[in-house]
């Protein structure tokens, strides 16, 4: 490699710029739909083949492009949105730097068919490898149609980084979903290989559009959010503590109708939920910030997915406090917030542990039908059933000889501390056991053992229909055989639902919707996981985590006995599936040293 400084050729410069803007088919879908919305389109149709890896076609009914400007569409930094630097900070459009079409044309073949409403004839323009091959008059409906084919044909190294067709299609649908949430006035339709996979008719407002897209679970468990501080407005919807997800991907943030990824704002949302949902669970939210263009810089990321705020601290506080106030003002389940007094296993009333009690107002509130409560009841029922059937646990096929294991020999159960930790005493000291981590390990090993023995499915008395986002449905299409192997008998039902016919037999009878929602999140997280074994293991861990007894769940003595008995029979019982310790021990010597007796 030469140490001389040279000016890059236009072809290489365009391809480098394309690498910043065009990462995958979803990047193209996003850029072209944003262009359509900037052109005033109220009807946008997307057609994909092979998940967008084969071809992408975007058709809109926007204002169209003049024939004299057709060539400039494919020129870098050719734009009608700005003419000087200051205009960037006042631009109300999505695209303004004039890079998208040039970048796409440098790594693919692009055909554009466009006509303005008042023109008698339209224009057809074709570009490939960064150069225009033809511009001709053509018949065309009012608006613009852009077809992209041969993606990364001239840069095959980039094509190797594309995922499976199902994953790329899911990413395209995610891009459409974000734009559809921000623009309820626009009708969106997506077809994949000729089959409709997404449809959102024009809506009267954001709430109606959210009901179309976010699924029944969110719409049944959501709260409105609204606040105004000086020139910054915040509106949107957040989930109640009863509706949680296994990752933060269902937190949608928009600034001036532009979807962004901002770790600071996401943290602001999560901070408001810290005390009301269990660890490692996340809320869902759709939040819209509106502020003057000069107070936010949208020019800090090639794809404009990140922004920089002039007053970031004030905006963080506005989001966090507003979300927290909405949660505090909502009617909630007492189980979600309060510890409860739990007697120890013996009948002595004086030997219980002290813990903070729930406020009388919380205890007197009517109990609503939350899925969280249904889940807890199902878990309690399973523990009680197992208390009466101690032999009902499959033996694991792996050899766990030599591993450090938890045993309850010569230990007395003393009670439950902080609604989460089971306390055991012996002549040697005290042991604290994390009830969620213990049950999680038991369920994981039970799932693995029953899967290996091919006794995995329990048919549902009545099949259950679970609503999902179209992007999640496309991921399930490629994972049905994998899920069948762990006991889930599923069938795709339309473009936004799944029918659950059977569940893993070794799990408590928990709601199918909870399981399917978490698996959808896992499939989304596994886009970079290539090993089938690793994908299967992560899904099993997710199932075990979802079905395990939760913190702040009060256990009866017989439930504790069943849990301990199962844990002793379970391999690798010193740690939970995430690698954290299940128990912590304090020797009598350590305790006496704390009291200065040693």
Pairing label, strands 258-260, 251-255: antiparallel
Q: Is the pLDDT of residue 237 over 90?
A: yes
Q: Can you tell me the distance from the alpha carbon of 167 to that of 146, in angstroms, rounded to the nearest whole number?
A: 23
Domain coordinates in residue numbering, the chain = 10-203, 214-332, 349-588
Q: Can you tell me the distance from the alpha carbon of 24 to that of 27, in angstroms, rounded to the nearest whole number?
A: 5
Top CATH class of 10-203 equals alpha beta
pLDDT bracket for residue 337 (50, 70, 90): very low
Q: Can you tell me the distance from the alpha carbon of 416 to that of 344, in angstroms, rounded to the nearest whole number?
A: 7
> Could you read off the pLDDT of 426-453 as tens digits, one per residue?
988 999 999 999 999 999 998 888 777 6
Q: Is the pLDDT of residue 575 over 50?
A: yes
| Long-range contacts from 407-413, C-beta under 8 angstroms, 24+ separation | 407/568, 408/564, 408/567, 408/568, 413/344, 413/345, 413/557, 413/560, 413/561, 413/564
CB 308 within 8 A of CB 261: no
The CATH code belonging to domain 349-588 is 3.30.1370.100
The segment with the largest mean pLDDT, out of 15-29, 64-78, 415-429, is 415-429
Mean pLDDT of the chain: 80
Q: Is the pLDDT of residue 83 over 60?
A: no
CB 167 within 8 A of CB 88: no
Q: Report the share of the chain in percent with pLDDT over 90.
A: 37
* E-only strand ranges, 388-510: 412-417, 421-426, 429-434, 457-467, 489-492, 497-504
Pairing label, strands 143-149, 55-60: antiparallel
Count of CB atoms situated within 10 Å of the CB of 577:
20
Q: Regarding the domain delimited by 214-332, which CATH topology (the fold level of the hierarchy) does it fall under?
A: Ribosomal Protein S5; domain 2 (3.30.230)
Ranges of H-type helices in 22-64: 25-38
| Torsional sign, CA 179, 185, 186, 192 | positive
> Could you read off the pLDDT of 247-272 as tens digits, one per residue?
888 999 999 999 988 888 999 999 99
Q: Is the pLDDT of residue 136 over 80?
A: yes
> Could you read off the pLDDT of 306-317 as tens digits, one per residue?
677 788 889 999
Q: Can you tell me the distance from the alpha carbon of 196 to that of 473, in angstroms, rounded to the nearest whole number?
A: 12
What pLDDT was estimated at residue 352? 33
Q: Is the pLDDT of residue 363 over 80?
A: no
What pLDDT was estimated at residue 176? 96
Q: Is the pLDDT of residue 555 over 50?
A: yes
What predicted TM-score, i.e. pTM, was given to this entire model? 0.75
| Torsional sign, CA 112, 132, 159, 13 | negative
Helices 470-477 and 165-182: angle between axes, nearest 10 degrees: 170
């Amino acid at each position: 490699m030469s140490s001389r400084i040279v000016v890059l050729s236009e072809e290489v410069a365009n391809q480098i710029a394309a690498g910043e803007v065009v990462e995958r088919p979803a990047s193209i879908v996003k850029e072209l739909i944003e262009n359509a919305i900037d052109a005033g389109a109220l009807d946008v149709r997307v057609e994909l083949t092979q998940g967008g890896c084969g071809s992408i076609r975007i058709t809109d009914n926007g204002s169209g492009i003049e024939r004299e400007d057709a060539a400039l569409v494919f020129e870098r930094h050719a734009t009608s949105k700005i003419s000087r630097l200051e205009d960037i900070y006042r631009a109300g459009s999505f695209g303004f730097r004039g890079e998208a079409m040039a970048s796409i044309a440098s790594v693919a073949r692009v055909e554009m068919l466009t006509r303005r409403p008042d023109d008698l004839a339209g224009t057809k323009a074709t570009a490939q490898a960064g150069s225009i091959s033809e511009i001709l008059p053509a018949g065309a409906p009012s608006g613009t149609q852009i077809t992209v084919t041969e993606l990364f044909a001239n840069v095959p190294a980039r094509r190797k980084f594309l995922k499976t067709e199902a994953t790329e299609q899911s990413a395209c649908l995610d891009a459409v979903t974000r734009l559809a949430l921000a623009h309820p006035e626009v009708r969106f339709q997506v077809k994949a290989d000729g089959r409709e996979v997404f449809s959102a008719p024009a809506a009267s407002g954001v709430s109606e559009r959210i009901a179309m897209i976010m699924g029944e679970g969110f719409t049944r468990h959501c709260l409105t959010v609204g606040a105004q501080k000086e020139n910054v407005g915040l509106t949107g919807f957040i989930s109640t503590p009863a509706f949680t997800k296994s990752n933060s991907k269902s937190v949608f943030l928009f600034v001036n109708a532009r979807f962004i990824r901002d770790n600071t704002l996401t943290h602001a949302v999560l901070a408001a939920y810290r005390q009301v949902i269990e660890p490692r669970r996340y809320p869902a939210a759709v939040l819209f910030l509106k502020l003057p263009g000069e107070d936010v810089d949208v020019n800090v990321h090639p794809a404009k997915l990140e922004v920089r705020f002039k007053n970031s601290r004030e905006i963080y506080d506005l989001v966090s406090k507003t979300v927290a106030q909405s949660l505090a003002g909502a009617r909630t389940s007492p189980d979600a917030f309060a510890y409860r007094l739990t007697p120890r296993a013996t009948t002595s009333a004086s030997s219980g542990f002290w813990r903070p009690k729930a406020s009388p107002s919380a205890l007197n509130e009517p109990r609503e039908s939350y899925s969280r409560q249904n889940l807890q009841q199902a878990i309690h029922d399973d523990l009680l059933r197992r208390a009466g059937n101690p032999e009902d646990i499959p033996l694991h096929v792996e050899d766990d000889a030599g591993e450090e294991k938890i045993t309850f020999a010569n230990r007395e159960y003393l009670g439950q501390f902080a609604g989460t930790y089971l306390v055991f005493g012996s002549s040697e000291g005290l042991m604290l056991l994390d009830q969620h981590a213990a049950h999680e390990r038991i369920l994981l090993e039970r799932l693995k053992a029953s899967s290996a023995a091919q006794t995995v499915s329990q048919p549902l008395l009545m099949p259950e229909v679970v609503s999902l986002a179209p992007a999640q449905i496309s991921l399930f299409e490629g994972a049905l055989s994998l899920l069948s192997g762990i006991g889930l008998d599923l069938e795709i039902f339309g473009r936004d639902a799944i029918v659950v016919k059977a569940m893993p037999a070794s799990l408590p009878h928990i709601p199918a919707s909870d399981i399917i929602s978490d698996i959808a999140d896992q499939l989304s997280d596994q886009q970079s996981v290539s090993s089938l074994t690793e994908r299967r293991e992560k899904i099993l861990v997710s199932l075990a985590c979802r079905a395990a007894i939760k913190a702040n769940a009060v256990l009866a003595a017989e439930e504790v006995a069943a849990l301990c008995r199962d844990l002793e029979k379970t391999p690798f019982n010193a740690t939970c599936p995430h690698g954290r310790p299940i128990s912590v021990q304090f020797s009598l010597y350590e305790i006496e040293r704390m009291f200065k007796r040693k």
